């Protein structure tokens, strides 16, 4: 029987929240592009006195091939990571070592996963008109884009995010040896009834046999259910007839065998995927600090949090929009949806946020 829930607009009788954990291939793509952008930005700043034009926000993970076995397993073909984008590759006679910067960044990010990979880099020189943006005296937008944020989180949003972070933690993997880094948590609230569905990769060398797998999965399910007092379902595709029908991997990453990843398909800036809330499909990861698709996400989040903390608003949604070529400190529109509206305090918070704009940009390079 199909479970159909009919509701009025904006009533949210049903709430759905998703988080992709640190080892999910989409999350990996975002983390890789962001780390590459930050390192390149710091190189520009150190060697040329300012951040130059670049966008390294395109990444793809092409899954490899692996054969997991109880107490064993092997990689047949490594995953392939592709980083693509545009950047200033030469300043005067000085060549920017972009490939070296990207390779070092990818190596450092991937080190903890202990998973083999191949790396392809496709970064070309950016468009001339976009490079001119960074030569202006004040920071201007190098794209027409938006930033969206909300605050505070609902109980379900907090629970799903906390659960994904818990499972991704070193302490959790020590407590439940055999758990991998790749996790996805989907939370659903129907009225007062809450459940979570979790996709969790297990590492084959730590799993003795079918019974051990089922036992460990049950222990984790019970642990999380007791922690949150909700119904939990783990690896619902499992069929216990053979190892090929279980979510068991060699490395703890689904990208080793059949699950590709792409930048921009994962969590939003606040670490969540929230279809019940206002959010942008613009990916913040890998963009330069003058790209409103990045810095306006950060600014919108700061304004939303400050409005709750300083303007006594219970719940806030913020949308910022600007046009390419316009000063970033002068957005085309700032849209605020809030409870307990105090126009004077809202104006103070928004104006102060944009006064601190340069500080926010610098902080985003760390």
Tens digits of residue pLDDT in 267-314: 999 999 999 999 999 999 999 999 999 999 999 999 999 999 988 888
The 10 Å Cβ neighbour count of residue 314 is 10
Q: Which of 40, 24, 62, 46 is nearest to 123 (CA)?
A: 40
Alpha-carbon gap, residue 335 to 341, rounded angstroms: 13
- Number of domains, the chain: 3
Asked if residue 149 and residue 161 are part of one domain, the reply reads no
Asked if residue 249 and residue 183 are part of one domain, the reply reads yes
- 220, 255 Cβ separation under 8 angstroms: no
Supply the pLDDT for residue 321: 96
Alpha-carbon gap, residue 196 to 175, rounded angstroms: 21
Supply the pLDDT for residue 337: 92
Q: Which of 177, 158, 159, 188 is nearest to 12 (CA)?
A: 188
**Strands lying side by side in the sheet with 117-125:** 117-125, 79-87, 54-62, 261-262
Asked if residue 256 and residue 169 are part of one domain, the reply reads yes
Percentage of the chain exceeding pLDDT 90: 84
Supply the pLDDT for residue 292: 94
Supply the pLDDT for residue 127: 72
Asked if residue 158 and residue 258 are part of one domain, the reply reads yes
Inside any domain, residue 44 = yes
Percentage of the chain exceeding pLDDT 70: 97
Inside any domain, residue 36 = yes
- pTM attached to this predicted model: 0.94
Inside any domain, residue 140 = no
Inside any domain, residue 3 = no
Tens digits of residue pLDDT in 213-266: 999 999 999 999 999 999 999 999 999 999 999 999 999 999 999 899 999 999
Supply the pLDDT for residue 7: 66
Helix axes 210-228 and 155-168, enclosed angle (nearest 10): 140
- Rounded to an integer, the average pLDDT of 40-56 is 94
Q: CA 299, 300, 301 angle in degrees (round to 5)?
A: 90
Inside any domain, residue 339 = yes
Q: pLDDT confidence of 173, banded at 50, 70, 90?
A: very high
Q: Which of 264, 331, 325 is nearest to 300 (CA)?
A: 331
Inside any domain, residue 356 = yes
Q: What is the DSSP letter of 176?
A: T
DSSP secondary structure letters along 246-279:
S-EESSS-GGGTT--EETTSS--TTS-B-TTS--
Alpha-carbon gap, residue 180 to 248, rounded angstroms: 9
| Mean of the per-residue pLDDT values of the chain | 93
Supply the pLDDT for residue 33: 98
Supply the pLDDT for residue 131: 65
- Last residue in a domain, options 208, 228, 262: 262
Asked if residue 149 and residue 287 are part of one domain, the reply reads yes
- Rounded to an integer, the average pLDDT of 114-122 is 97
Q: pLDDT confidence of 113, banded at 50, 70, 90?
A: very high
Domain that holds residue 97: 25-128
Asked if residue 166 and residue 149 are part of one domain, the reply reads no
Supply the pLDDT for residue 4: 65
Asked if residue 178 and residue 91 are part of one domain, the reply reads no
Return the beta strands (E) in 218-342 as ranges. Answer: 231-234, 248-249, 261-262, 316-322, 333-338
Whether 5 has a pLDDT exceeding 70, the answer reads no
Asked if residue 255 and residue 178 are part of one domain, the reply reads yes
- Rounded to an integer, the average pLDDT of 333-347 is 88
- Last residue in a domain, options 232, 262, 292: 262
- Last residue in a domain, options 262, 293, 323: 262
Asked if residue 358 and residue 344 are part of one domain, the reply reads yes
Inside any domain, residue 294 = yes
Supply the pLDDT for residue 190: 95
- CATH number of the domain where residue 53 is located: 3.30.300.10
Q: pLDDT confidence of 9, banded at 50, 70, 90?
A: low
Supply the pLDDT for residue 342: 83
- CATH number of the domain where residue 224 is located: 3.30.300.340
Asked if residue 177 and residue 81 are part of one domain, the reply reads no
- CATH number of the domain where residue 335 is located: 3.30.300.280
Query: What residues pair up with 91 in beta bridges, in sequence order?
Result: 94
DSSP secondary structure letters along 6-45:
---TTT-SEEEEEEE-TTSHHHHHHHHHHHHHHHHHHHHH
Alpha-carbon gap, residue 161 to 277, rounded angstroms: 15
**Residue showing tokens 């459940």:** 195
Alpha-carbon gap, residue 102 to 83, rounded angstroms: 8
């Amino acid at each position: 029987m199909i479970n159909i829930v009919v509701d009025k607009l904006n009533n949210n009788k049903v709430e759905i929240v998703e988080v992709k954990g640190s080892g999910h291939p989409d999350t990996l793509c975002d983390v890789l592009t962001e780390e590459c952008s930050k390192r390149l930005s710091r190189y520009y700043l150190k060697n040329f006195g300012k951040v130059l034009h670049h966008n390294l926000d395109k990444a793809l993970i092409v899954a490899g091939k692996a054969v997991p076995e109880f107490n064993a397993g092997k990689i047949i073909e490594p995953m392939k990571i592709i980083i693509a984008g545009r950047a200033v590759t030469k300043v005067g006679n000085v060549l920017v070592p972009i490939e070296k910067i990207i390779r070092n960044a990818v190596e450092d990010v991937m080190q903890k996963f202990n998973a083999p990979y191949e790396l392809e880099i496709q970064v070309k020189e950016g468009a001339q008109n976009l490079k001119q943006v960074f030569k202006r005296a004040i920071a201007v937008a190098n794209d027409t884009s938006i930033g969206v944020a909300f605050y505070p989180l609902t109980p379900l949003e907090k629970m799903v995010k906390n659960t994904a972070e818990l499972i991704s933690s070193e302490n959790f993997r020590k407590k439940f040896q055999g758990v991998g880094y790749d996790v996805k948590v989907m939370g659903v609230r129907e009225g007062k009834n809450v459940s979570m569905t979790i996709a969790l990769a297990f590492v084959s060398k730590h799993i003795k046999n079918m019974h051990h797998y089922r036992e460990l999965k049950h222990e984790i399910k019970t642990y999380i259910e007791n922690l949150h007092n909700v119904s939990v379902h783990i690896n619902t595709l499992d069929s216990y007839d053979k190892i090929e029908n279980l979510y068991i991997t060699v490395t703890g990453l689904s990208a080793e065998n059949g699950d590709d990843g792409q930048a921009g398909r994962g969590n939003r800036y606040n670490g969540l995927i929230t279809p019940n809330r206002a959010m942008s499909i613009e990916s913040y990861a890998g963009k330069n600090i003058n790209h409103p698709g990045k810095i306006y996400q950060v600014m919108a989040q700061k304004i939303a949090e400050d409005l709750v903390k300083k303007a006594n608003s219970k719940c806030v949604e913020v949308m910022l929009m600007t046009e390419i070529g316009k000063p970033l400190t002068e957005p085309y529109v700032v849209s605020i949806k809030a409870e307990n509206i105090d126009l004077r305090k809202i104006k103070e918070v928004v104006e102060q946020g944009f006064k601190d704009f340069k500080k926010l940009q610098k902080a985003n390079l760390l």
